[in-house]
Homo-oligomer: A and B are copies of this chain.
Amino acid sequence: MATTTPALVLDLIRTAGPVSRVELAQRAGLTAATITNIVRDLLAGGLVRETGRRPGAIGSPRRLLELAADAWYAVGVQLSRSTTTTVVTDFTGRQLAGTRSPGVGDGPPQVTLTALAAHVEHLLTATAVPRERVLGLGLVTHGPQDRERGMVLTSQPTRAWQRFPLTTTLAGLLALPVLLENDATAAAVGEQWTGSLDVDTFGVVWVGGGIGGGVVLGAESFGGPTANPVEIGHVPLDPAGAVCGCGNRGCAEVTAGPAAVVARAMADRRVRTRLRLSGRLDDTLSDFEKLVVASGQGDGAAADLLRASAERLADAVVTLMNLFDLDTVVLSGPALVTAGPLYAEAATRAAERGALARLLRPVRVLVSPDAGTAAAVGGALVVLRSPLVHAEPVVAARQKVLPMNT
């Protein structure tokens, strides 16, 4: 996404605030006059407010700026076969409410989106945010996507989802703008703006039902020519592996993904029975969680399955580092809330052995502190960082839209 100067300034205030105009000018590399003009517009638009003063080295104390947290709110929804995470955030990206609910399973898109819209309405009512201040909804799914048309391009979770008009349908149901984003890119945005990282250049490997990737270079998401980059779940890692729906043999998703690990566990009757795995497609993450817990309690079979998966995911981490010239990768996603440290350990070993960046600087594989919600929060932030924040007052826009739904 191309960042405009006012958007850059908003981002700086989001991460660095409360901050003075002088500091903003320094950090943005802009003149004081430019910052003054931009800040005046942001104050007038109610996006930013002044908050106290800080003594300056010379002259009068500097007035400090921060985002107006109640200027806008947004909804973020991370949707997959096995889990749905929904959050409501304020303009700063702070999570006001969040739920985790069952995934799409084999449900058809129209039914799923209708239920989702009802759930979002319920959550918005529960959090009591002013409805006219809800800027939009960021819908986060697996890639590849046609971002502009708001569609996923593959037949996951079922064929009915392929090229189904997700964003226009959901926008119609909720009378809200809906933007589509890739799960791993959203997670990268979430990691970046929730302040858990000390660097602005890093990769993300996101493990939910599937596996995705994101790369942030100098605080900007790597977008790729058609907004479908970093499909780290679908690079071939093992010529002896299974064929994936993506067309490749032995890609990360079929060798390391939670669904593959659970399928292997299900194939062993003793493991399946001992750990009470359901094997249902919309239960993948809870079955996977059972394996992780059992492994931690000394179950050898579960430990072996996870170790094999972690080694292939480690290969994917090294691939990401060596192609994008990265020294830091964050592991995120709902599958890694508990399993994160186990996977990070294997990936750290692999990176210290095979990531070429190690020749110049230390390499790190970290586990996201918000592995379960980073993608959904990132979805909300995609909306809050979009040009929508500068649009005409939403009350007027809503009046145009509402009659269609009443």
Q: Does A311 contact B (CB under 8 A)?
A: yes
Q: Does A29 contact B (CB under 8 A)?
A: no
Residues of chain B contacted by A359 (CB below 8 angstroms): 144, 153-154
Chain A contact-residue range equals 35 or more
Bound Cα distance A232, B354 (Å): 13
Q: Which of A19-27, A123-131, A240-248 contacts B (4 or more CB under 8 A)?
A: A240-248
Q: Does A227 contact B (CB under 8 A)?
A: yes
B356 contacts A311, C-beta separation under 8 Å: no
B236 contacts A360, C-beta separation under 8 Å: no
Residues of chain B contacted by A324 (CB below 8 angstroms): 224, 229, 323
Given A248-B318, A323-B213, A323-B320, decide whether A357 and B236 contact each other with a Cβ distance below 8 A.
Answer: no
Encoded as 1 (CB less than 8 Å from any B CB) or 0, chain A from 32 to 46 comes to 000000000000000
Residues of chain B contacted by A146 (CB below 8 angstroms): 360
The smallest beta-carbon distance between A130 and chain B, in angstroms, is: 39
A353 contacts B247, C-beta separation under 8 Å: yes
Most chain B CB within 10 A, of A217, A224, A239, is at A239
Given A144-B360, A324-B224, decide whether A315 and B229 contact each other with a Cβ distance below 8 A.
Answer: no
The smallest beta-carbon distance between A216 and chain B, in angstroms, is: 10
Residues of chain B contacted by A70 (CB below 8 angstroms): none
Closest to A356 in B: B144
The smallest beta-carbon distance between A7 and chain B, in angstroms, is: 20
Q: Does A312 contact B (CB under 8 A)?
A: yes
Most chain B CB within 10 A, of A248, A350, A356, is at A356
Bound Cα distance A236, B325 (Å): 15
Copies of this chain, whole number: 2
Most chain B CB within 10 A, of A144, A217, A231, is at A231
Closest to A201 in B: B225
Closest to A241 in B: B239
Bound Cα distance A144, B324 (Å): 12
Encoded as 1 (CB less than 8 Å from any B CB) or 0, chain A from 219 to 259 comes to 00000111111111011111110000011110100000000
Given A144-B356, A154-B359, A231-B356, decide whether A225 and B326 contact each other with a Cβ distance below 8 A.
Answer: yes
Q: Does A338 contact B (CB under 8 A)?
A: no
A234 contacts B315, C-beta separation under 8 Å: no
Extra inter-chain contacts (18) besides given A224-B324, A246-B356, CB under 8 Å: A144-B359, A144-B360, A225-B325, A232-B322, A232-B323, A235-B315, A235-B319, A236-B354, A237-B237, A238-B239, A239-B240, A239-B312, A239-B315, A247-B353, A248-B315, A319-B319, A319-B323, A323-B323
Sampled A-B contacts (9; CB under 8 Å): A144-B356, A153-B359, A226-B360, A229-B324, A234-B354, A235-B315, A239-B315, A319-B319, A323-B323
In the A-B complex, the 6 residue pairs with the smallest Cβ-Cβ separation, listed nearest first, are: A224-B325, A248-B354, A247-B354, A229-B325, A236-B315, A235-B319
